[in-house]
Amino acid sequence: MDINILKKIVELSNEDVIFAHAIIINAKGSTPREIGADMIVLENGETIGTIGGGALELKVIDLAKSCMKTNTSATYNLPLNSPDIGMICGGEVDVFIEIYKAKPKLIICGAGHVGKALYEIGKTLNFKISVFDDREDYLNKTRFPDADELVLGSISENLSKYPIDENSYICIVTRSHREDCEALKAVVESNAKYVGLMGSKKKIKEIFDELLSNGIDENKLSKVKSPIGLDIATNSPEELAISIIAEILAVKNNKLKSPFNN
């Protein structure tokens, strides 16, 4: 393996992006590169390093992009004279494609007691954590020393501009009915893997009714986890946070279906 590729793997891992590492683990006959030749494939198809160029490399890039979409590492046997590669040399290679996943993003809307408990548990599970609030006396490095981001200001306005993707898990646990409603409105049509809203059934119904009257699609609202979390907790912030993280892990690890990805 190329030492420069290994250094780049470490660098990209620290940047918290998804990428693939493709390495030739077996080679027979005439092949453009030997065992150990490797390259990095980024999510947009750009590469670092080479496993020989040409049609073989293009094929591996396509396979790597498919693996990144499913977050699945895999080994492929590739005869070079196959129709989809079409190289005249008669060899074949086995290529192992390893996927390096970005950290899951835990987006906590509200820096109160439940938000702080979510942060503490989420950090031990290696989530990338962003906390949103408009109160500087709550949202600070003293209360959240190891958070990746502290986003101060209007929660809904900041959420509407925030890059939310399929690796995002959003917990709406603000201090007020109004903040909850505006935060949910900002994220309900996003690509998040999970959106949960804390509150009583009465409060949740009132928020849903208001958003429906403002034109939010009922199917989108039906996918929100509310009340938030598994039904295992008392009302203590710590137990509520555990129940919420348990629900998020169930969705993340495909133990509980995510309605946001249907």
Give the pTM: 0.76
What percentage of the chain carries pLDDT values higher than 90?
Answer: 72
User: Is residue 245 located within the same domain as residue 117?
Assistant: yes
Domain boundary among 51, 68, 100: 100
Residue 73 and residue 96: Cα distance in Å, rounded? 8
Q: Which of 181, 182, 147, 168 is nearest to 251 (CA)?
A: 168
pLDDT in tens, 6-57: 999 989 987 878 999 999 999 998 888 899 999 999 999 999 999 988 889 9
Q: What is the pLDDT of residue 190?
A: 93
Q: How many domains does the chain have?
A: 2
User: Is residue 96 located within the same domain as residue 109?
Assistant: no
Domain boundary among 100, 121, 143: 100
pLDDT in tens, 224-254: 999 999 989 888 999 999 999 999 999 998 8
Range of the domain at 183: 105-261
Side chain identity at residue 224, one-letter code = V
Q: Is a pLDDT exceeding 60 seen at residue 262? A: no
Q: Is a pLDDT exceeding 60 seen at residue 258? A: no
DSSP 77: E
Q: What is the pLDDT of residue 261?
A: 47
Residue 260 and residue 188: Cα distance in Å, rounded? 9
Q: Is a pLDDT exceeding 50 seen at residue 169? A: yes
Q: What is the pLDDT of residue 32?
A: 80
